[in-house]
Structure 1
Amino acid sequence: MMPLWMWSTLLIPLGFIGWLVWLRLRAGGASHAQAFKMLLALGALGAIFVGSVSTAVNAWRTAQWQSAVSGVVGAVAFLTMRRVLQRAWERFPLG
């Protein structure tokens, strides 16, 4: 379990990144609801990615089989997050 100070150092940059993505989507013409849904999806995928990487590292240290499964889940979450962002940029272009 991560201590509270680690969560705060993680959430501050993530909040800033979320705010920048929100501004980018709104500047591209997305409505509040569309931008919120996109950020919700990206937040869920990001949480899955961070959690799977954390589980993979802990499982690797203790030589358990979950490290491979968590690594695959993390890779899938990262690639899905990348695809979601790419489609969002194509759907709401700047200019």
Structure 2
Amino acid sequence: MQNLHAYRLYLNHRVEIKESDVRLRDIARVDGASNPEVLEGKLIARNLQRPVYLPAGELQSRLNNGPESLERVHGVGVWIIPLNRTVSVGKLEEM
């Protein structure tokens, strides 16, 4: 039987990223994990080209498949905004 260790996530409300790949460390703070470096490096989105909203429930379902249990996500969701030429200033102001 595996030893489960519960951890918590504290979501940022909005993040602006320069890279097209988004890792957990970019959008949240991990608390209580036995190996936070591994969790923080987990890929959340690949080749992001436009802003997306990631609800806490969706993030929780993506992360509840590892050896550690996600106890709670603090925050309702996070806007992930890639800083590239496809995002206009007007769209940023709307968010």
Shorter-chain TM-score category? under 0.3
TM-score (norm 2): 0.22
The TM-score, its normalising length taken from structure 1, stands at 0.22
Higher helix share: 1
Please say which structure displays the higher CA radius of gyration: 1
Q: Which structure exhibits the higher relative contact order, with contacts defined as CA atoms closer than 8 Å and separated by 6 or more residues?
A: 2
